[in-house]
């Protein structure tokens, strides 16, 4: 059974105290997650230890890094190694968010290297893929996303791939207030699963969690998550508001 995941991406927001309070408010809601459900919080690096400790007592709640570096260790001032994340008990890491691709020029090869290091350190990568507006308007989004998948994922074997979570982000819908329709979301999620099935077989593809990440809000989460191939969301702005993210977690299948 595929995991259903509500993943919060705080990005570069909140002070330590605000983050601590936000987590507490969400935990105080006492949402009981089913066996196949996960609530994951990708918090800024300085808050990882706090978040990990705060969530430790709640079943199926996890802290996640927002990024790691594509080298094992060395003279890379300001970067964070996957091994460092493992040493403080982090089990998830967002890799290849569209903002990392755009602002920091992260390539598909670099993202493969990051995921490889995550997997070596027993960290589940949340791999982001998705198209900008120009590609969507040209109608070539399927081939664009397929290339991202092939160049970053296809060197992994079946066992490795099944430890990776995929997040589809229509870049044109991130922070814009626009959201892909449920039909558009389902269509791309189904396409991603079909691409994986062609390479790895249906059994493997059916076990991969694919999240939607484009302006997921409290008022549209249930409809989006009801799509056959949508297994939850990678949530930005709405994850910074306790009552909104509580509703989103409760919207999981």
Query: Is the Cβ–Cβ distance between 223 and 182 less than 8 Å?
Result: yes
Cα four-point dihedral sign 101, 106, 107, 113:
negative
Q: Please report which confidence band the pLDDT of residue 162 belongs to, taking 50, 70 and 90 as the band edges.
A: very high
Average pLDDT, the chain: 96
Once rounded to an integer, what is the mean pLDDT over residues 80-88? Answer: 98
| Domains: count for the chain | 1
- The pLDDT tens digits for 91-144 are 999 999 999 999 999 999 999 999 999 999 999 999 999 999 899 989 999 999
Residue with tokens 């120009």: 134
Residue with tokens 């939850």: 232
**pLDDT for the residue numbered 174:** 74
**pLDDT for the residue numbered 180:** 76
**pLDDT for the residue numbered 117:** 98
Query: Six-digit token pair at 69?
Result: 């570096």
Query: Six-digit token pair at 14?
Result: 């909140």
SS3 of the chain: helix, strand, coil, percent, to 5: 45, 15, 40
Query: Six-digit token pair at 8?
Result: 């919060």
Residues whose CB falls within 8 Å of the CB of residue 126, separated by 6 or more in sequence, listed in order? 7, 40, 42, 64, 92, 93, 94, 95, 164, 165, 166, 167, 211, 234
Q: DSSP assignment, residue 163?
A: T
Assign residue 82 a region (left: φ > 0; alpha: ψ between -120 and 50; beta: otherwise).
alpha
Once rounded to an integer, what is the mean pLDDT over residues 217-240? Answer: 96
Domain of 214, in residue numbers? 4-250
**pLDDT for the residue numbered 5:** 98
pLDDT greater than 90 at residue 157: yes
**pLDDT for the residue numbered 215:** 84
Q: What is the CATH number of the domain that holds 137?
A: 3.20.20.70
The pTM for the full model equals: 0.96
Residues belonging to the active site: 97, 169
pLDDT greater than 80 at residue 214: yes
Q: Please report which confidence band the pLDDT of residue 49 belongs to, taking 50, 70 and 90 as the band edges.
A: very high
**pLDDT for the residue numbered 9:** 98
Q: In whole angstroms, give the CA distance from residue 54 to residue 15.
A: 16
Q: In whole angstroms, give the CA distance from residue 73 to residue 82.
A: 9
Query: Six-digit token pair at 41?
Result: 């919080």
Query: Is the Cβ–Cβ distance between 23 and 250 less than 8 Å?
Result: no
């Amino acid at each position: 059974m595929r995991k259903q995941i509500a993943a919060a991406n705080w990005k570069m927001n909140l002070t330590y105290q605000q983050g601590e309070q936000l987590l507490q408010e969400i935990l105080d809601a006492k949402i009981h997650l089913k066996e196949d459900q996960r609530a994951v919080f990708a918090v800024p690096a300085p808050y990882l230890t706090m978040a990990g400790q705060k969530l430790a007592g709640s079943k199926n709640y996890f802290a996640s890094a927002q990024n790691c570096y594509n080298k094992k260790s060395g003279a890379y001032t300001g970067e964070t190694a996957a091994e460092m994340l493992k040493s403080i008990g982090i089990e998830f890491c967002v890799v290849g968010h569209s903002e990392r691709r755009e602002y920091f020029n992260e390539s598909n090869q670099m993202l493969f290297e990051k995921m490889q290091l995550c997997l070596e350190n027993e960290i589940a990568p949340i791999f982001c893929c998705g198209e900008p507006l120009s590609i969507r308007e040209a109608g070539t989004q399927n081939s664009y996303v397929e290339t991202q998948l092939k160049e970053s994922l296809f060197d992994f074997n079946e066992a490795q791939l099944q430890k990776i979570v995929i997040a589809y982000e229509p870049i044109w819908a991130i922070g814009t207030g626009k959201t892909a329709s449920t039909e558009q979301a389902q269509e791309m999620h189904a396409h991603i699963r079909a691409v994986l099935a062609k390479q790895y077989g249906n059994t493997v593809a059916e076990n991969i969690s694919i999240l939607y990440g484009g302006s997921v809000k409290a008022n549209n989460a249930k409809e989006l998550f009801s799509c056959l191939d949508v297994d939850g969301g990678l949530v930005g702005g709405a994850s910074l508001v306790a009552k909104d993210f509580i509703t989103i977690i409760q919207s999981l299948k």
